[in-house]
Structure 1
Amino acid sequence: MTNALDLNAPVDTLAMEFTREFDAPVQALYRAHAEADLVKQWLGPHGLEMRIEEWDFRSHGGYRYVHSTSDADYRFNGTFHTVRENEMIIQTFEFEGAPDMVNIEFMWFEDLGNGRSRLRGRSICPNTEARDALLSSGMEGGMVEGYEKLDVLLKSL
């Protein structure tokens, strides 16, 4: 069963909010966000190769990764501000193709019982132009495809 992504971007804010449920325990969902080997298997849309150059998953750690197609590389980096096991992650996110447009992202992991969980997130952009550029870039489709890959991965954990 594929669970739907609910993505909201209220017009009068700099925020984008999403909710997605998973047919897996919260510990597995969190682990898939924490371990570089697992993140690499699901983050991003279909057809992109992912290379992780840095992954220091802890409060005040950082990350940098590259998504590649046959034509181009897309680099992303950030800092893990707060990491609280099975509960939350607060991090920054920057697409290096749009330098200085750093988002702050919040992710909450919720145990729904019966081996199910929910991921809630909020991304706050520096300005409405940055938010609108992300929304028009195909971000929602990439999230849907990434979470479909995550569903498959979670079945194996």
Structure 2
Amino acid sequence: MRDLAADGIAVAVSARVLGLCRQQYYRWCACPVTDSEWDEALLTDAIFNAHRDDPEFGYRFIVDEVRAGGFDVAERTVWRICSANRWWSSFGKKRSKHGKKPGPPVHDDRCASTDEHGVIRHKFAAGRPNELWVGDITEHPTEEGKRLFTDDGVAAGVGAVTG
């Protein structure tokens, strides 16, 4: 808003276009940080310092540390701040199995080759036996059982596979 006002655009016009109230903008200019926001920032800093000193403490022990530091705070408030910032006890919070990033591949990708444009392409055709992984072959059910096919649609092996 200040940049727009410096360019000659009226604050009332900018506020109307942005869907803001002009009076609240001027109130914010007079005091950009409210007392409650400042108090919560100080409390968050105290919680962070208590957690950094003893990372094995859960939020209940952190409440005691923060209260000893002179803050009058509820347990729920400390829990909310710890949860929002993911400050968990090093012993109490088990890491989830979901959301993990996969590690490096455990084998070389023998199907990958780089073309003349630098794009990695995959070719699922083997020049000789045991050159590709079994994962490169898919199963499709048929009337006789299951049949194995390579990615290019050619039937692999002799006869049908039952099972």
Task: Place the TM-score, normalised by the shorter chain, in its bin.
Answer: under 0.3
**TM-score, length of structure 1 as denominator length:** 0.18
Structure showing greater radius of gyration is 2
The answer to which structure has the higher helix fraction is 2
The answer to which structure has the higher strand fraction is 1
**TM-score, length of structure 2 as denominator length:** 0.18
